[in-house]
Amino acid sequence: MLNQIADFIGVHFLSFTNFEIALDSNVNYGSKIWQTIRKPEIVPFVNGKSYEDYESGKRLEGIGLYYSITRKRQVDMTIYFSFKDSTLKLKSYNKSKEIESNKYRKKYILDKLGRNCELFRLEITATDKQIRPLINKFYGNNREADFIHALTDEYELKRIFEYWIEKLIYFRLGDKAGQKVTIFNL
């Protein structure tokens, strides 16, 4: 159907440049990540690199952790990881506050859950440098059509999200050989 629409309006798919995928939950995973990073018995692995050196205060040296004061007031930003290569970014914030501060223009997000609870978003932004390897790994070389089709399947969306979240951050109990802990196990 996507190809038919593209043909009808006279456009052709060239490539993905950015891709955003998010998990909405009543769990504030950003807060859980911060709490876990502070535990000396657990080693964080961020963007594939181990950050064991808790005692020296350099545990997360070299990682851009930031947020704007305006955005923090608006959406209660919990965490924002951005890396020098800018291929993957991770944001966690209070989606309910964002919806409220924007006069409920995106209330359909709250309605879809069918519950009235605080909603937190964990959002990943990927650039083409991360999209291409994911397509090749999951769908085969140059299989953008299969990737686009996969975006209609909740199982595939979950698989894509988990793949990138584990590239961004996970933990180990103890040293590098310890048990792997994903953010969903926190």
Angle at 46 between CA 42 and CA 51, to 5 degrees: 50
In a domain, 7, yes or no: no
Q: What is the pLDDT of residue 160?
A: 94
pLDDT of 25 higher than 60: yes
Domain that holds residue 177: 18-185
In the chain, how many domains are there? 1
pLDDT of 73 higher than 60: no
Q: What is the pLDDT of residue 162?
A: 93
pLDDT per residue as tens digits for the range 100-112: 776 666 666 666 6
In a domain, 48, yes or no: yes
In a domain, 54, yes or no: yes
In a domain, 122, yes or no: yes
In a domain, 125, yes or no: yes
pLDDT of 84 higher than 70: no
Neighbours of 177 (CB within 10 A): 7
What average pLDDT score do residues 88-92 get? Answer: 86
pLDDT of 120 higher than 80: yes
In a domain, 109, yes or no: yes
- Give the least confident one: 25-34, 79-88, 131-140: 79-88
What average pLDDT score do residues 7-11 get? Answer: 80
Q: How far apart are CA 180 and CA 186, in angstroms?
A: 11
Strands (E) in the chain, as ranges, are 18-25, 42-46, 49-50, 64-65, 79-82, 88-94, 120-127, 169-173, 180-181
In a domain, 1, yes or no: no
Residue 99 CA from chain centroid, whole number: 19
pLDDT of 163 higher than 90: yes
| Token digits of residue 104 | 């409920």
Q: What is the pLDDT of residue 95?
A: 79
Within the chain, how many helices (H) and strands (E) appear? Answer: 8, 9
